[in-house]
Amino acid sequence: MAQSIGQKFTPVTLLKFALPSMVMMVLMSCYTITDGIFISRFLGDNALSAVNIVYPVINIVLAIGVMLATGGSAVVAKKMGEGKDDEAKDNFSMLVFTGVVASVVILILTILFLEPICRALGANDSLLANCKAYLFTVVLFAPACMLQSLFQTFFVTAGKPHIGMTLVISAGIANAVLDYVFLSPLGFGIEGAALATGIGQLIPAVVGLFYFFFVRGDLYFTKFHFHGSVLSTASFNGASEMVTNIANAVITYAFNKIMLRLAGENGVAAITILLYSQFLFNALFLGFSMGVAPVISYNYGAKNTGGLKSVCKICRRFVIVSSIIITICCNLLSEPIVLLFVGGKTATYDLAVSGFSVFCVTFLFSGYNIFSSALFTALSDGKTSAVISFTRTFVFILLSLLTLPAIWGVTGVWLAIPVAEFVTLFLSIFFQRRKRTVYHYA
């Protein structure tokens, strides 16, 4: 392991190490986007809106998975850096088991209260049937979704990011092919899109289980003991990432309600396209942050101050440059991206394209905010990380949604996330400057 996340990194080697995680996150985001494209093309805006209505339930599964993965990875990687390999394997096994149990509980509760959940999330009579059909099918794969979230991070911690990348590529291809087969030739309807997503998630879940059970590498499953303190530390550590996903669920709900009132189902479809795009472009920053986090944790645990400073300096430069490039690309590609979903110049197309010109500014600021939160998670400073994530993904967006649409209508909706990211940027800079003498990363 020391030859992997403990090596001396240059900008090229660090980016090479983080690349599999970046590819994984981009492809993970493509799961949902692929569903959206096929659903919109074959089933229409009503079905696309229905998927976005119920997606907060999936956000909860992802929230728990990402929390245990990122927070747990910081704990496990730090112990590996300290030479406590047996403890690291024990903690890893316990965290994965806990995640699976949590996903099963969510699965059962969702099936038992399917219609009330859909109604509570905002499904009206015209959307209810599609909401129920999609949610019922996709939640059956909640354990696979959970395992995929866990393994994509722990493969990096195990020093095998290329395996995780290969699995996600395979899953993404399977998802896209099955989306077409289930929706077009077989005519399965919206359940087919959910089934394609679930089968795609099964690939990294099943292969990951096989790997960690039978391959005796740097990290594998062992007989474990339940450590409440480790679980609470990992949960607190990864709370910022969980907050991000839970906040996404709440904010998605708020966006849907506001757009349904201002622009009807076309408005919900338009904001769905923009949120998909945000998910895709931010995935690059999330993947990079996930890829370098074990390196930061390892150097912090090994008390390698020089290595920690070097890695963080490279990270900051990459985030700033990539933020500018992504913003430009998003602006230039706005019309082709929207056309992927709607296939023609409809009312949804006009709304989404007009929104992109405002919305793309968010990527100038989101990368630095995402990395700042991930940095403090990697340093086991869950409190600071959670403050950044909570204000960024919930407080500032919610405040923007409560005020800006009342002033500028639909334009205020498009402005909500860019304004929230811009304000959070100052908070991120403040914490990075304040904490540098504590953790010596700069």
Q: Determine the Cα–Cα distance for residues 52 and 428; give it in Å rounded to an integer.
A: 30
Please list, in sequence order, all residues whose beta carbon lies within 8 angstroms of the beta carbon of residue 382, skipping any fewer than 6 positions away: 71, 236, 237, 238, 239, 240, 376
CA 382 distance to own-chain centroid: 18
Contact call for residues 249 and 60 (beta carbons, < 8 A): yes
Question: Would you say 90 and 106 are in contact if contact means Cβ atoms under 8 Å apart?
Answer: no
pTM comes to 0.72
**In this predicted structure, what is the pLDDT of residue 178?**
92
For 31-65, how does the pLDDT look when each residue is reduced to its tens digit (9 = 90+)?
A: 667 777 888 888 887 888 888 888 889 888 988 88
Which structure tokens are listed for 162? 């290329």
pLDDT in the model for residue 412: 93
Whether 182 has a pLDDT exceeding 50, the answer reads yes
In this structure, what is the dihedral angle of CA atoms 146, 149, 150, 155, given to the nearest 10 degrees?
A: 140
- DSSP code of residue 186: S
Residue type, 442: A
Name the burial class of residue 369, with classes exposed (0-12), middle (13-18) and buried (19+) by CB atoms within 10 angstroms of its CB: buried
Inform me whether the pLDDT recorded for 10 exceeds 70: yes
pLDDT bucket at 4, cuts 50 / 70 / 90: low
Locate 239 and state its tokens. 């709370």
**Cα(324)–Cα(140) distance, integer angstroms:** 40
Mean pLDDT lowest for which of 10-24, 40-54, 136-150, 230-244?
230-244
Q: Among 8-17, 119-128, 192-201, 224-233, which is the least confidently predicted range?
A: 224-233
**pLDDT digit string, tens, across residues 387-410:** 898 888 889 999 999 999 999 998
The string of pLDDT tens digits covering residues 358-389 is 899 999 999 999 999 999 988 888 889 888 98
* 397 burial via Cβ count (<10 Å: 0-12, 13-18, 19+): buried
Residue 232 pLDDT: 82
Overall average pLDDT of the 76-95 stretch? 83
Q: Determine the average pLDDT of the residues in 214-225.
A: 81
Q: Mean per-residue pLDDT for 246-259?
A: 81
Q: Residue 3: what pLDDT?
A: 43
